């Protein structure tokens, strides 16, 4: 029982990392129908920013969570630059071009990091020092609980933002109908840029959660994490914000449970197997809307 609670908590923690990353994928896909493969690499960028800014914050005597603010800033800048330089010119060129450009940008970020930071894994210094907490007989590190709480709070805020604010409504309107949203006075290009900015900011928060739990970062971090988060987005139904959250949390819990109770080496295979089964049974994902095919 203790083991189960412990693994569930770890699963929720990993799941909220996936969920925050999946949100970035799902929002971008919803709005411009492009799998942004570079999104996983934004997390890597955030991780390296944390790695370099935490010692600086320590020296300057500032609170360490300031580093997260810096990371969010850097990720938003990288995300918006990626969109403006690479994605905007190829918009409307078809899905093949968009897909390859995204793959290319992912390679650019990854290899740019390789040139700048080298290929050796780095350990991000701890940001929080919290005591281990006893919960129903299971001992869980304080930072796991804290990051889990942060992740859930961010997701709640984002849900409210998308549901009730004017900007959020515009972000929901553009994927529905681009022309109609232009007619009612929405600046589509601006909304797309804002979507990228929010997605990249979420990636920075995800990288904070990742580094507090898993410490070590590497220039190739983005590939596997990004792919897994994308799987989460597809599972939940791509384009659906609630779906991304549910898909992410579900995936995290399943992965940890498989790791703990079944063969530890195979959890990735299980993840992808679930994806295939879900796509074959319900091609639009758990919460996705069925898109009628043009005839």
Partner 1 sequence: MPKIMKKKYIINIIAVAMVFLLLCLLFDTGLLGRKAAYFNGLVTIGMFYTIIVCSLNLLTGYMGEFSLGHAGFMSIGAYTSAIATTLISDHAELPNIVLYLLAIVIGGLAAAIVGVLVGIPALRLSGDYLCIVTVAVAEIVRVILSNFGIPAITGSATFGKSFAGIAKVSDYHYVFITMVICITVMYCYIRSRYGRALISIREDRIAAAASGINVTKTKVMTFTISAAFAGVAGAIYAHYITTLVPTYFNFSKSSEFLAIVILGGSGSMTGSIVAAPILSALPQLISYVFPEFASYRMLIYAIVLVVVMIFKPSGLFGGKEFSLPNLLLDRNYRKKKVSLDENKA
Footprint on this chain of partner 1 (rule: CB under 8 A): 29, 33, 35, 37, 86, 89-90, 93-97, 99-101, 103-108, 110-112, 114-115, 223, 227, 230-231, 234, 238, 263, 265-266, 268-269, 272-273, 275-276, 279-280, 283, 295
Identity of the residue, 183 or 295, whose beta carbon is nearer to partner 1 in the bound complex: 295
Least distance from C-beta 87 to partner 1, angstroms? 10
Positive or negative torsion for Cα 75, 77, 81, 84? positive
Handedness of CA 205, 210, 211, 212 (dihedral sign): positive
Q: Please return the burial class of 233, using the count of CB atoms within 10 Å of its CB with bins 0-12, 13-18 and 19+.
A: buried
Q: Which of 249, 240, 230, 217 is nearest to 287 (CA)?
A: 240
| Contact indicator for 32, 91 with CB cutoff of 8 Å | yes
User: What are the two backbone dihedrals, phi and then psi, of residue 217, each rounded to the nearest 5 degrees?
Assistant: -125, 160
Query: Taking a C-beta distance cutoff of 8 angstroms, is the pair 206, 255 a contact?
Result: no
Query: How near is the Cβ of 78 to partner 1 at its closest, in Å?
Result: 14
**CA count, 13 A, side-chain hemisphere, 172:** 14
**Min separation Cβ 191 and partner 1, Å:** 21
Nearer residue to partner 1 within complex by CB, 60 or 115? 115
| Cβ 118 to partner 1 shortest distance, Å | 9
**Interatomic CA distance for residues 230 and 95, integer angstroms:** 17
Least distance to partner 1, CB of residue 99, Å = 7
Comparing CB distances to partner 1, the nearer of 231 and 249 is: 231
- Pick between residue 106 and residue 195 the one whose CB is nearest to partner 1: 106
Distance CA 172, CA 239 (A): 10
Give strand pairing partners of 122: 217
Name which of 8 and 275 has its Cβ closer to partner 1.
275
DSSP annotation string for 123-167: EPPPS-----EEETTEEE-HHHHHHHHHHHHHHHHHHHHHHHSHH
Q: How far is the CB of 278 from partner 1 (least distance, A)?
A: 10
In the complex, the smallest distance separating the C-beta of residue 227 from partner 1, rounded to whole angstroms, is: 6
What CA–CA distances, in Å, run from 238 to 29, 62, 132, 139?
7, 40, 37, 35
CB closer to partner 1 out of 138 and 223: 223
Please identify, using beta-carbon distances, which residue of 33 and 163 lies nearer to partner 1: 33
């Amino acid at each position: 029982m203790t083991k189960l609670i412990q693994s569930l908590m770890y699963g929720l923690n990993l799941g909220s990392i996936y969920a925050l990353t999946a949100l970035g994928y799902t929002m971008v896909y919803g709005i411009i129908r492009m799998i942004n493969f570079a999104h996983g690499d934004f997390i890597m960028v955030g991780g390296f920013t944390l790695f370099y800014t935490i010692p600086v914050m320590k020296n300057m005597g500032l609170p360490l969570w300031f580093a997260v603010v810096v990371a969010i800033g850097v990720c938003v800048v990288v995300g918006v630059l990626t969109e403006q330089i690479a994605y905007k010119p190829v918009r409307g060129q078809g899905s093949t071009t968009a897909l390859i450009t995204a793959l290319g940008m992912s390679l650019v970020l990854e290899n740019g990091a390789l040139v700048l930071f080298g290929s050796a894994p780095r350990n991000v210094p701890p940001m929080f020092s919290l005591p281990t907490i006893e919960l129903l007989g299971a001992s869980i590190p304080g930072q796991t609980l804290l990051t889990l709480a942060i992740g859930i709070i961010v997701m709640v805020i984002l849900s409210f933002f998308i549901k009730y604010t004017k900007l959020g409504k515009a972000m929901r309107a553009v994927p529905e109908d681009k022309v109609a949203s232009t007619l009612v006075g929405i600046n589509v290009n601006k909304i797309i840029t804002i979507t990228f900015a929010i997605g990249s900011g979420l990636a920075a928060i995800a990288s904070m959660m990742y580094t507090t739990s898993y410490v070590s970062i590497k220039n190739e971090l983005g590939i596997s994490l990004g792919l897994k988060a994308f799987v989460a987005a597809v599972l939940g139904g791509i384009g659906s914000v609630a779906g991304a959250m549910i898909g992410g949390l579900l995936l995290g819990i399943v992965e940890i449970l498989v790791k703990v109770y079944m063969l530890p080496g195979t959890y990735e295979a299980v993840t992808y197997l679930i994806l295939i089964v879900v796509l074959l049974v319900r091609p639009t994902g758990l919460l996705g809307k069925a898109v009628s095919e043009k005839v």
